Amino acid sequence: MDLSIVGVGHVGLVTAAVFADLGHRVVGLDDDRDKLDTLLAGDVPFHEPGLPELLERVVADGSLTFTDDLSVAVDHGEVIFVCVGTPPLPGGGPDLRFVERVGREVARHATRETVLVEKSTVPANTGVRLTQVIAHELEVRRADATAADPDDVHVHVASNPEFLREGVAVKDTAEPDRIVYGTASDYARDKLREVYAPMVERVGCPVVETDVPTAELIKHASNAFLATRLSFINAVANVCDRVGADVELVAKGMGHDARIGHAFLNAGLGYGGSCFPKDVDAFAHLARQVGYDFGLLEEVRDINVGQRQVVLDRLRDELWHLQGKTIAILGAAFKPGTDDLREAPALYLAESLLAEGATVRMYDPVALDGVAEVLPEVERIDDPLEAARGAHAAVIATEWPQIAGLDPSDLKAALDYPIVVDGRNCLDARAAIDAGLHYHGIGRGHLRVR
């Protein structure tokens, strides 16, 4: 099929590459000329394992091409996927102007029956609004006697949320655990069935076919529930610290219950990234708009933010005050496998430490260039032990293998004060204590320095 992807950021670029690899003819559209030049030069503008190799293959065989000309993309795509950003607004809702703009432009340029698919994360009933915008633009075209025959043009709006995880985005897109799409017409449903037929045949994943608002809500509900699990286990961890229990064993015991499972029960610094914080706020905002007080989501967010304060409190307990102290933060990206710093707990910690007069050093295997852009005051070091050398304490903020695999004895030898706050519970706690470190995990109050 002929597909167009509007917006080749993280979601759009991975989607475009995977669709091209399935055998579709794909055009990726973006108005950022620098980004397109980077892609045409064979580079990827962000870190995503496996994506450079996949892009090289599908670009070389002509399955995927790029353009900054909207009319080219609209003319090419019988199905057009909207993968533009929906950044948060001050009130918690998403900024949908880019989605609206795409709808207007597609309606102005379409020359045939077209399916416009929301893949960007949007609140329920965005499809209704988008359909209204498109209908208005088509009426304007039909009223213009000089316009090219628009009578046969119809734009069907559909929703097809993505569920990829940064760091494993290629695998998640190519081998999804489910495909969800919502449509308002048989035509749109049949087209999306055709788009995904090769993937369904190869992977055998379940397909959920529904209406547009339900598909939109599935994405927000999924992310909000996963965020709730993380905040729940972090609240449990705070209780564990106070009663001398081990949150890892609590989570293990819980997870053996088939109704609960083990996923997303890892206590730590809390979630970050571009999805969970934004989607939790957007879902709560949507609920308020329709007259429902979804207080649970407000608490989920508050617990998540509070986890960063737990780490700062432990540093103050150990060091008395932070003025003039040197703190090594090991890990910058919000999770391993990506260079994404959006809502990264490490940046929150760094900003708080700097505000209290501390010197901050930071290590990350892929994200230091981004740190330089947003926090130039932070000293950036490309080796974790060098970052810790002479520091008063180290905080583990991202569970990169290069950090989790550190020998506790080497870490103790590097630090000026043997203090480690393991914000991801990724070190062997007993080995750290045996090496002489003042080890602080999250929810591991049963462990004490000998």
Please list, residue by residue across 137-153, b when 16 or more beta carbons sit within 10 angstroms of its beta carbon and e when fewer do: bbeebeeeeeeeebeeb
Query: What angle (nearest 5°) sits at the alpha carbon of residue 204, between those of residues 198 and 207?
Result: 85
CA 248 centroid distance within chain: 25
One-character DSSP codes across 71-104: HHHHHH-SEEEE----PBPTTS-B--HHHHHHHH
Report the distance separating Cα 66 and Cα 73, nearest Å: 9
Q: What are phi and psi of 120, to 5 degrees?
A: -60, 150
> Is the dihedral angle over the CA atoms 333, 337, 339, 342 positive or is it negative?
negative
Q: Which ranges of 204-294 would DSSP assign to H, the alpha helix?
A: 212-243, 247-255, 276-289
Q: What is the DSSP letter of 48?
A: -
Task: State both tokens at 424.
Answer: 């991801």
Task: Say which of 83, 205, 240, 275 is annotated catalytic.
Answer: 275
Residue 379 in contact with residue 361, Cβ under 8 Å? Answer: yes
Asked about 275 being catalytic, the answer comes back as yes
Residues 6+ apart with CB under 8 A from 176: 163, 199, 203, 205
Task: State both tokens at 127.
Answer: 């499809």
How large is the angle between the packed helices 212-243 and 247-255, nearest 10 degrees? 140
Task: State both tokens at 103.
Answer: 């709808």
SS3 403: helix
Residue 424 in contact with residue 400, Cβ under 8 Å? Answer: no
Report the distance separating Cα 307 and Cα 103, nearest Å: 40
113 closest CA partner among 83, 158, 147: 158
Q: What are phi and psi of 84, to 5 degrees?
A: -85, 165
Return the percent helix, strand and coil in the chain, to nearest 5.
45, 15, 40
Within 10 angstroms of residue 213's Cβ, the number of other Cβ atoms is: 17
How large is the angle between the packed helices 276-289 and 295-319, nearest 10 degrees? 140
Task: State both tokens at 222.
Answer: 């999924």
Residue 383 in contact with residue 402, Cβ under 8 Å? Answer: no
Query: What angle (nearest 5°) sits at the alpha carbon of residue 72, between those of residues 108 and 145?
Result: 30
Annotated catalytic residues are 275
